Chains A and B, each alone.
Chain A
């Protein structure tokens, strides 16, 4: 439907029609996200009808205490998991958009500067260390994960900016450090013993450890990330013109580069610490949305956040229901849902693919 509307309006006034299309796409994504949230809350081992969910949600928000078993399923298990998926999806998508803009490279994603692998290494290391000294594993894993994610980014930044050209040096340093981290993580599998199961969580990624505390942490990070990207959107547009032209137009280029790097590091490592490494969203969602609304970040940021949230909520719903009571790794579904749509869009509109 969208493609028919736009192909008609496109010839008349491109910029205006892009604005209108961006609004349509944003509204459509928001609507789909709401529907997906409802669907995700309704499905599971115990199906709950949507009107029932609405009634219980209203009561819960009105201050009613959590009552029966259904309430407990809804508010202690399903709702935090669905919300964590939503927040993780939008954080990953925003981090991906920031990385693609920072490197002016359509293949960039948070993993390319090594931050995802670094965060996963930290999580696994923290978990093993906590087990050997006998403290609470999950808290240690999250803390270590965020710490190493940020540390890896700082190291990559320090190494990468010595290169003659910021983008290339950083990219190569990131790939090298990321590969080092991921092989260290694999090596730790041999040390893991009976904790192998817990480690595999961070390697495969998943949302089954969700709780309200996680939701709160990620909500703070992703809202801050979204706000930054919205406020910087014009700077990001100018940055896409290349470092020299951006400077000529009055942008403080090194400052924006540092900010973007910090944003990617925080969003990606906080997300990885809570959900493990979930691939594909950071790479694919910014492309998908760019194909629909164009490259202007003022129109791009919000739909990218919504699209990432939608994709991960849908993928996670599939992951936990299709083979219930077993769980399929969610990363499989982000690719299964995302890739065909992406390829289809790439075929129909190839003009605006590259950032």
Chain B
């Protein structure tokens, strides 16, 4: 499912635009990375993409259906979000939390079906969480909890996945596993959007990079075309030699 964004403008307060005239097409079967400095509008764009923030102008289309015409439940059946700021002291076990991903599909009050349970365990396994299935979430580490939340988005079985800094608390191995998972999901034909802060590891797994700067899209393209010396200097204010011998390796040197 493609996401098409046209002339999107958003501001929390009128005089300070967070997104100014953003247009972008996010294609299915690809991993898209949203990059940019703090406060450049990445998370806001992500929240607009599932309609939880209403833009002041412009529109978002899910294939050819305008997002504004869908109700919350219908959106949740198409778009799953792993937010950055999920409360820590949740009273559920990891398995129960992942099962809540079935909410937009399920009936209202019945017990979880055997298929839902099987699916939830499968999602836990895909994030290396099988051993922690019955652990209460408030006893998990930050990184473990982050993986549980990603597993919950998998249980939603949506064509579109939006992950806000999914790797920020993960150790190196689980970061790599997560990015590989994103690639596999894209290979299944899904649309994966990740906000990334890490500019060296994550982009190696990304097909399209979107670099946001001061509420606007500065450049869209392959990582090697976006993460250049000039863009990093202008957007992040960092002097860094960077070169891409091929699409999946990068040499960088700080001055």
Identify the A interface with B (CB < 8 A): 10-11, 13-15, 19, 230-235, 237-238, 240-242, 244-245, 247-252, 290, 294-296, 298, 351-352, 354-355
Residue of A15, A295, A351, A352 contacting most chain B CB atoms (<10 Å):
A15
Known contacts A15-B134, A241-B90, A295-B92, A249 near B77 by CB under 8 Å: no
Q: List chain B residues, Cβ under 8 A from A10.
A: 134
Q: List chain B residues, Cβ under 8 A from A355.
A: 91
Please list 11 pairs of residues, one from A and one from B, whose beta carbons are closer than 8 Å in the complex, sorted by A's number: A14-B93, A237-B103, A248-B83, A249-B101, A249-B104, A251-B103, A295-B91, A295-B92, A296-B96, A298-B111, A351-B139
Q: List chain B residues, Cβ under 8 A from A14.
A: 93, 95, 133-134
Whether a CB of chain A sits under 8 angstroms from the CB of B52 is yes
Cross-chain contact of A249 among B93, B100, B133 (Cβ < 8 A):
B100
CA distance A233 to B97 in the complex (A): 15
CA distance A139 to B87 in the complex (A): 47
Q: List chain B residues, Cβ under 8 A from A230.
A: 109
B126-166 contact mask (Cβ, 8 Å, vs A): 1 or 0: 00000001101011000000000000000010000000000
Identify the B interface with A (CB < 8 A): 50, 52, 72-77, 80-81, 83, 85-87, 89-93, 95-97, 100-101, 103-104, 106-111, 117, 133-134, 136, 138-139, 156
Known contacts A247-B52, A250-B73, A352-B136, A234 near B109 by CB under 8 Å: yes
Nearest-CB distance from A175 to chain B (Å)?
Answer: 23
**Nearest A residue to B136 by beta-carbon distance?**
A351
Considering the complex of A and B, which 8 residue pairs feature the smallest CB-CB distances, nearest first?
Answer: A14-B134, A250-B76, A295-B91, A250-B73, A250-B104, A248-B81, A233-B109, A250-B72
CA distance A354 to B87 in the complex (A): 13
Q: List chain B residues, Cβ under 8 A from A238.
A: 100, 103
Nearest-CB distance from A13 to chain B (Å)?
Answer: 7
Cross-chain contact of B50 among A234, A248, A295 (Cβ < 8 A):
A248
Do A251 and B72 touch across chains, with their CB atoms under 8 A apart?
yes
**Nearest B residue to A295 by beta-carbon distance?**
B91
Cross-chain contact of A248 among B74, B76, B87, B96 (Cβ < 8 A):
B76
**Nearest B residue to A353 by beta-carbon distance?**
B91
Do A15 and B95 touch across chains, with their CB atoms under 8 A apart?
yes
Do B136 and A244 touch across chains, with their CB atoms under 8 A apart?
no
**Nearest A residue to B78 by beta-carbon distance?**
A250
Do B93 and A15 touch across chains, with their CB atoms under 8 A apart?
yes
Do A237 and B100 touch across chains, with their CB atoms under 8 A apart?
yes
Nearest-CB distance from A303 to chain B (Å)?
Answer: 15
Do A250 and B103 touch across chains, with their CB atoms under 8 A apart?
yes
**Nearest A residue to B73 by beta-carbon distance?**
A250
Do B92 and A296 touch across chains, with their CB atoms under 8 A apart?
yes
Known contacts A242-B86, A244-B52, A298-B111, A234 near B91 by CB under 8 Å: no
Cross-chain contact of B87 among A15, A231, A241 (Cβ < 8 A):
A241
Do B92 and A247 touch across chains, with their CB atoms under 8 A apart?
no
**Nearest B residue to A237 by beta-carbon distance?**
B100
Nearest-CB distance from B78 to chain A (Å)?
Answer: 10
Nearest-CB distance from A254 to chain B (Å)?
Answer: 11
Known contacts A240-B91, A245-B83, A232 near B72 by CB under 8 Å: no
CA distance A271 to B133 in the complex (A): 41
Do A241 and B100 touch across chains, with their CB atoms under 8 A apart?
yes
Do B136 and A234 touch across chains, with their CB atoms under 8 A apart?
no
Beyond A10-B134, A14-B93, A354-B89, 17 extra complex contacts between A and B, CB < 8 Å:
A13-B134, A15-B95, A231-B108, A232-B108, A235-B108, A241-B97, A242-B87, A248-B52, A248-B80, A248-B83, A249-B104, A250-B104, A251-B73, A294-B91, A294-B96, A351-B139, A352-B91
CA distance A19 to B99 in the complex (A): 14
Nearest-CB distance from B72 to chain A (Å)?
Answer: 5
Known contacts A14-B133, A15-B93, A242-B87, A249 near B103 by CB under 8 Å: yes
Do B89 and A234 touch across chains, with their CB atoms under 8 A apart?
no
Do A250 and B75 touch across chains, with their CB atoms under 8 A apart?
yes
**Nearest A residue to B109 by beta-carbon distance?**
A233
Q: List chain A residues, Cβ under 8 A from B85.
A: 244
CA distance A234 to B103 in the complex (A): 8
Q: List chain A residues, Cβ under 8 A from B92.
A: 237, 240, 294-296
CA distance A352 to B85 in the complex (A): 21
